[in-house]
Amino acid sequence: MKNALHEFEKCLCENKKDPPLIRCALAHAQFETVHPFLDGNGRIGRLLITFMLGVENILARPLLYLSYYFKRNQNEYYDMLTATRERGDWEGWVRFFLNGVIQTAEQAVETARTILDMREAHRKIASSGKLKGKNSNSLLGLLFESPIVTANHVSGVLGVSYPTAMTLCKEFEKENLLVRRPGLRRNIRFAYEPYLAILREGTEL
């Protein structure tokens, strides 16, 4: 296994002739074949894809989420990996992998558009009625960075008093922009559920 990992690392460092996505496909399959750990090989193998694309400056952020594609097509995923080992069918695996990249990228673009549309709609809400004011727009901006907040957190980030922050969170709650998380009576947590719902979409089966 150590020798296999050594050869694997050597291949990662020396193989620069193939296109980056092809190298990612080959590296992921090879790592899963070596299977060096008792647990977590799949997670590390998927992280490897993101790390490689980051090193190649193809991804500035980890926005290519192939895990769901592999899970949704789990039987084919295992069959394709097995075919590389038993029949040397690397072309079949690469086609499967690249199809996943296409589907995942298209989904990421659609998700981004949905988020932009939602942000614009919520910005209009935050600029009208009882929510109208600088603090409302500031809180909305904060929620895209930290979709689960407490009044203490809002107070610190926005530079307002705790009562003002709590009132603001409650007003957002009335407009269904925030949902109170159950459990805590003190230091209540509020979730920007519309945003979280978009992020969760397509990640569970």
- The H or E element containing residue 139 is helix 134-145
Task: Please tell me the distance from the alpha carbon of residue 132 to that of residue 127, in angstroms, as a whole number.
Answer: 4
Which position has the higher pLDDT, 89 or 185? 89
Helix/strand/coil for 8: helix
What's the CATH number for 2-110? 1.10.3290.10
Question: Would you kindly state where each structural domain of the chain is located, as residue ranges?
Answer: 2-110, 127-200
Q: Going by C-beta distance under 8 Å and a sequence separation of 6 or more, which residues neighbour residue 151?
A: 162, 165, 166, 169, 187, 188
Q: What is the pLDDT of residues 58-94, one digit of tens each?
A: 888 777 889 889 999 999 999 999 999 999 999 999 9
Task: Please tell me the distance from the alpha carbon of residue 49 to that of residue 27, in angstroms, as a whole number.
Answer: 8
Q: Is the pLDDT of residue 54 over 50?
A: yes
pLDDT (average), residues 162-174 = 94
What's the CATH number for 127-200? 1.10.10.10
Q: What is the pLDDT of residues 119-130, one digit of tens each?
A: 999 999 999 887
CA 108 vs CA 57, 121, 143: distances in Å = 18, 20, 20
Specify the pTM.
0.77
